[in-house]
Chain A
């Protein structure tokens, strides 16, 4: 029999970006709120402090800030003929752990989606007709538009403290910004950060080729900054330890630097760590949730936390898992196309070119996670899908980050992997290489999905979630298109040596190398309950007091890093809860 806690108005599952946003916004309405966090508590001091955090082995390689797969993981297969095997050791994606979640260890790239990406299906049909959408492609429109979300993107960017330069300010295209982006009602909260040498070379080559370079939108403070919650950030010193690390100097945008200390001062908010939520409990009528049951690590027992409102704000994979084990939404069945929970799991399609310049010094350790110059000349709204034979796009970026030698030692092809030749190679090439990355879309397909695994369980006896995912030709063609455009640009920079890395036809998903922690979909937004798990306010169609945050809401992935979109959606959702749901709790659609 589970212990029962005192009832709360709101229970928040997972205290990362979106849980912190839900907490601080709903706390303003005087609600009694508790957040439950699976991992440990963590703050800038003492957890991220200098010099202890500057430890590539511990955090960069042994991944000590990440979810422990011994505690929670998924199984993976590429198709239904393969037996899914557990993701035993972290590789391809790195869900976070503890207070702050993935928001503590991200790179800080904070993009908005393109307006066209939020109505992708209509955009494709209007311009090229339905025939170019492959039969197994399950793309759709988001049930909310860019114009509706714009104020919430702006709000998130102000809270998170984003540095950049608007390319489209209320419809006015400004030189030096991204001319292809959706409109912004205001410029970035902070100006862009300075350019490193690789970024400058890329910038100049792009100008010479007629492209439109602009500074990457960075969740990295370029100046001293105070956000709307009174949280203070200090300018980044390019220490180079962003991705996989907590920021030691209050420069990287994170729940810690921008929300949590303000939130912890609210008397009606509390949080409990080492509390892993096992399931959402349902009322007998099946229309609402009554709270959540969690495992209290310290007491080693299950606890029931009753609440009137349940916010699922854990990582995308965990949100979907909780919904599958709790019976929120009908599980998706790829054979019939019916069911919704687990549908439209998507990822990211990336590639890039490394260039070696023996006489250039790039100081690769001088950088930050969102460093660099970008172009969107090959973005989703710049490509003729009919002509090119694929649907999708990518942004490109060049700028030093993660220049730490265990993980970042690009060497020209043909350099031995060990022995005297390797040692000679690292002495010769470390610091003399730069790269351009292509960060591209991954669309939704009928046979890329999430369900419960029949063979493996977690320590609580719950089935692991099973990921069925592989690359599709459409996205591989997109990637090959990027290769064909990037090679001439890279050549124009006259490197001594260059090498090209883009997945091509026949490539299969490999869980070993790190790719991105941009796992999306599985509890997607939709116009109708037949198409998705949540409505346009991220409210569960079948359990009206359950709201779900995060990238699991994405109908298909965009070409960008997900944080800007999921941050905007979180503010959009919280506003709907505050203005529409609390006065009259009911299905909002």
Chain B
């Protein structure tokens, strides 16, 4: 057992762990193999992290802030392929990445609140000149999803969410490689979607993704612990403690 299960969140210097306590910890990876393979959201929801938290509403019942039905179906299906559930570690669905994306698009990221959005715009400018579309991130999703769904219907016979996993992977690969003809205003849709998916996978759980901090557990990132005074010179020893979140959850 860890020596201080009741570590106080607001005293970061309390993170001292004597060297002698390190060996014998269960491998988090082997724990995950047992719990995450093939799984069901509920399996993760009952992990140590969620002891005190109530189980979240299911993704089906989640009340969306930005995405409409078709967009939600797409984001659910696409993120499930970008970070699939199979194998070690949570997938985007277990991590509730679609919730993160919906909330981000409803917020000041989605509306490009902090960005310079005045015209004239040249969406066809060299990609090296950065964001030049007149669209905000939320508008890119809104315009790109139907365009990509139309391409999927034409090429594979159904909208993206209705395709088999292998067809979805092919379609995403085409999108990534620029083989899906899109207007220049939404040409960066794939890279935005992928970046947002990874953000939702690894951001603090308060943003709606990284559910139960299981993405952090999987890779061994300790989240908001932020106190490692005795660790710089513990060379080549894996840090043993699981993550904490900003709101004080532990996993």
Listed in ascending order, the chain A residues whose CB lies under 8 Å from chain B are 50-52, 54-57, 61-63, 68-70, 73, 76-78, 82-83, 85-91, 193-197, 200, 235, 237-241, 248-249, 360-361, 363, 365-367, 371, 403-406, 409, 417-420, 422-424, 426-427, 430-431, 455-457, 508-512
Within 8 A of A (CB), among B116-136: 116-118, 120, 122, 125-132
Question: Closest chain A residue to B229 by CB distance?
Answer: A237
A427 and B232 contact, CB distance less than 8 A: no
- 26 examples of A-B residue contacts, CB within 8 angstroms: A51-B244, A54-B224, A56-B203, A83-B125, A86-B118, A88-B115, A88-B130, A88-B132, A197-B236, A237-B12, A238-B229, A238-B232, A239-B12, A239-B227, A240-B226, A360-B236, A361-B239, A365-B228, A371-B232, A418-B81, A424-B87, A426-B218, A427-B29, A427-B89, A427-B218, A511-B129
The answer, yes or no, to whether B9 is at the interface (CB within 8 Å) is: yes
The docked-state distance in angstroms from the alpha carbon of A422 to that of B172 is 14
Question: Closest chain A residue to B134 by CB distance?
Answer: A88
Q: With A69-B116, A88-B115, A195-B232 as given contacts, are A54 and B246 in contact (CB-CB < 8 Å)?
A: yes
Q: With A366-B231, A406-B199, A406-B202 as given contacts, are A423 and B115 in contact (CB-CB < 8 Å)?
A: no
The answer, yes or no, to whether B219 is at the interface (CB within 8 Å) is: yes
Question: Closest chain A residue to B107 by CB distance?
Answer: A62
A91 and B130 contact, CB distance less than 8 A: yes
The answer, yes or no, to whether B88 is at the interface (CB within 8 Å) is: yes
Report B207-224 CB contacts with A as 1/0, cut-off 8 Å: 100000001101111111
Give the residues in chain B near A194, CB-CB below 8 Å.
Answer: 232-233
The docked-state distance in angstroms from the alpha carbon of A45 to that of B29 is 38
Contact of A239 among B118, B197, B226 (CB under 8 A): B226
User: What does DSSP make chain B's interface, helix, strand, loop or mixed?
Assistant: loop
Q: How many A-B contacts are there with CB distance less than 8 Å? A: 186
The docked-state distance in angstroms from the alpha carbon of A194 to that of B130 is 39
A237 and B227 contact, CB distance less than 8 A: yes
B89 and A423 contact, CB distance less than 8 A: yes
The answer, yes or no, to whether B50 is at the interface (CB within 8 Å) is: no
The answer, yes or no, to whether B238 is at the interface (CB within 8 Å) is: yes
The answer, yes or no, to whether B82 is at the interface (CB within 8 Å) is: yes
Q: Other than the known A50-B10, A70-B115, A457-B118, what 6 A-B pairs have Cβ atoms closer than 8 Å?
A: A70-B113, A88-B116, A196-B235, A240-B228, A361-B237, A423-B83
The docked-state distance in angstroms from the alpha carbon of A86 to that of B198 is 27
The answer, yes or no, to whether B102 is at the interface (CB within 8 Å) is: no
The answer, yes or no, to whether B69 is at the interface (CB within 8 Å) is: no
The docked-state distance in angstroms from the alpha carbon of A87 to that of B116 is 7
B81 to chain A, nearest CB (A): 7
B128 to chain A, nearest CB (A): 4
Give the residues in chain B near A61, CB-CB below 8 Å.
Answer: 199, 203
A234 to chain B, nearest CB (A): 10
Question: Closest chain A residue to B137 by CB distance?
Answer: A89
The docked-state distance in angstroms from the alpha carbon of A82 to that of B126 is 10
The docked-state distance in angstroms from the alpha carbon of A427 to that of B125 is 37
Contact of A405 among B126, B219, B248 (CB under 8 A): B219
Give the residues in chain A near B202, CB-CB below 8 Å.
Answer: 56, 404-406
B177 to chain A, nearest CB (A): 11
